[in-house]
Amino acid sequence: MEQTELERFLSWEKRVGALQYALRVINMDEIFGAPSSGARMRSESEAVLAGELFTLENEPAMQSIMQELLAQEPEPALRRRLELHRRQAERFARVPKQAYLAFRTALAESRGAWLQAKRDNDWPGYAPYLERLTARYLDLYPDDGSGVSAYDRMLDEHASGWNTGRYDAFFSAVRARLVPLLQRVAAAPQIDDAFLRRPYEEPRQRSYMRSIVRYLGFTPDWGKYGESEHPVTSGIFTGDVRFTTKYHDRSAADAVLSTVHECGHAWYFHNVDPAFDGTILAYAMEAAMQESQSRLCENHLGRSRAFWAANYPELQRTFPEQLSGISLDRFVRGLNVSRPTPIRTEADELTYPLHIMIRYELEKELFSGRLPVRALRDRWMEEYSRTLGVVPEDDAHGVLQDMHWPYAYFGYFPTYALGSAFAAQFFCAMRRALDVDALLAEGRYPEIMAWLGRNVHRYGALLTPDEVMLRATGEPFSAAYYLDYLANKYTALYGLSGGGKEGAQ
């Protein structure tokens, strides 16, 4: 019996999903620490699968079928799936398969080279790989006659409707509001947090992390966690989510906050409507939405007194010599200190968006041709000195610190700041509906995730970020919530005058 157009689409969608599943598993296997001697065969297998996926996603007959199905006014979930698939196909419509395969090869080489270069503190050894990768990535954005730059198209893929114009305005507001506040904080009497930077043995941190993961409600029946050079999360299916964290032997809290951050991503994938599994709606959430959930968990929950009221006693028992005599209030104050650091993942909330702003400006220059890749390190040093007043001790803690560029996540960095701004608005709405502090202190973290599940997560990629924001909070996105939140928090923490508007807590 001949298949209907809908049946052919659903069969095609299953094949696309299966190939994407295989590629995600290969990627997470590498991140979790697959044997290095198997790298060549993994890369070759990944390239073959990626090539098959490229061919399948750009199958001309399927594009016609999807267009015909859209003309039949399908129900909303199917319409959204068709629209997202067509958008992806249109991105590559003018890209020869050979150019895509060349990019995948450059990507595989870049990932391995970066891991080694970071270990060896070897920027000159890695720079040629990034040079090739950015060139091959630009090949995926040929002139489409729209007049929209390649970089604007990259930005739009991670946050639809956001381009350099909107981000320039956003970061201008961030700079205008936060740089003076950072200067006032730096001039205020400083908070003692030396106890956080004593030696904290990694084996004991790993033992303690098991209790944190249980508190977060991340259970083996739907998740797996491990360690990697750079923390990352991958949603394989709603019932199979994996993340990694990283331990620092001279920090009491960095690994905890990293774990809370990545578990925020994990809950997002897990709480998507299971009916979307195997479809693009289960994993194609925009990056700014993804980061809003991880940053909400890390900062609004993980840095709060209520969170640590439940978790600090066990930390103190695990590290009695480091934390003896350190009260809960003193610990939480120390945890929220603002102090510029060259490391983005170790940054406090106040300086974090400035790290993102630096990367955004450098990306703009890279993809406009104004900044050669080999000059990137020097510009990095200049911007850190000018904006944050710090200089990385070496390239491993500087230009090589992040995985995003080696993994071709170009245009992604700005979503961390935008996601942080989304998070502040979501959190304000959540606090109107829940006694968040009581739930955290009583160890009822999954109930908070359930609210996010009902109001944010369950939609997956069914709705746009603007639509989710409107449904969850009752109003359009406003960066004022984020900037007011930071102003309120740090003026109170450091005993400064002023702050933000009432209500943007």
d(C-alpha 489, C-alpha 498), whole Å: 11
184 and 486 Cβ atoms separated by less than 8 Å: no
DSSP 242: E
244 in helix, strand or coil? strand
Sheet of 240-245: strand order equals 223-227, 240-245, 233-237
User: 98 burial class (0-12, 13-18, 19+ CB within 10 angstroms)?
Assistant: exposed
Q: Is 262 a catalytic residue?
A: yes
Q: Which one of the listed residues 13, 30, 46, 262 is annotated catalytic? A: 262
How would you label 139-157 residue by residue, b for 16+ Cβ within 10 Å and e otherwise?
Answer: bbbeeeeeeebbbbbbbbb
Residue whose entry in the numeric block shows the structure tokens 């797996």:
224
Q: Where are the alpha helices (DSSP H) in 164-278?
A: 164-187, 202-215, 254-271
DSSP 192: P
Phi, psi of 502 (to 5 degrees): -60, 135
Residues 6+ apart with CB under 8 A from 239: 221, 222, 270, 274, 277
- For the annotated catalytic residues, the residue numbers are 262
